[in-house]
Structure 1
Amino acid sequence: MSHEQFENYFLNTTFPNYEKEFKGAKLYLANGFRGQETGIVSMIWIFKSEVTRNLYFTTDGGNTELGLSIGDELKPINDGLIKLGSWTSKYTDWLVK
């Protein structure tokens, strides 16, 4: 799988479907192009509010019941992600002002 195929799947399949299900969320793909994280790809979630974020995720980053049910709806999309390969994820909530 090329980087372009990976990026296209995220931008054209994953993000539109996630944003449809996770109401009040906007997703972005960030590519590290200089410095320590050069070549690293990050998926950034921006929620309308902390209240909106908390509808889907617990304070430690796990899924709420609603988040789990959305995960079931997104299973075909997530199965497609698995075919792209593996990746690591670091959980951090940021408050953007």
Structure 2
Amino acid sequence: MGTLTASLVLMRWELVSAVMMFMASTLKVKCRQTSHNGMAFIFTGIGIGMSCWFVTGLLGITLSMDNLLNFWHITKDVFVDVMSHTPADYPMP
């Protein structure tokens, strides 16, 4: 019993996201059948968000503000570096 409890505690967020993916998929199909395309689009977005949450949870990736700020600074530095190598007379479309 303790093993089952421990596994449920450790996998709670993955289980919640898996259930949410299933519910979003089911509701999307129901909305498509009844021609509620706007709601189906919303449920598709929820399903994609839940699948991303599921994968990040399984891989152990934490989406904290520190990690997001670090990603933003690296992206900015790479953009500035790439733009500094662009010729000044680069043709504009």
Q: TM-score, normalization: structure 1?
A: 0.28
Computing the radius of gyration from Cα coordinates, the structure with the larger value is 2
Structure having the larger proportion of residues in strand: 1
Q: TM-score, normalization: structure 2?
A: 0.28
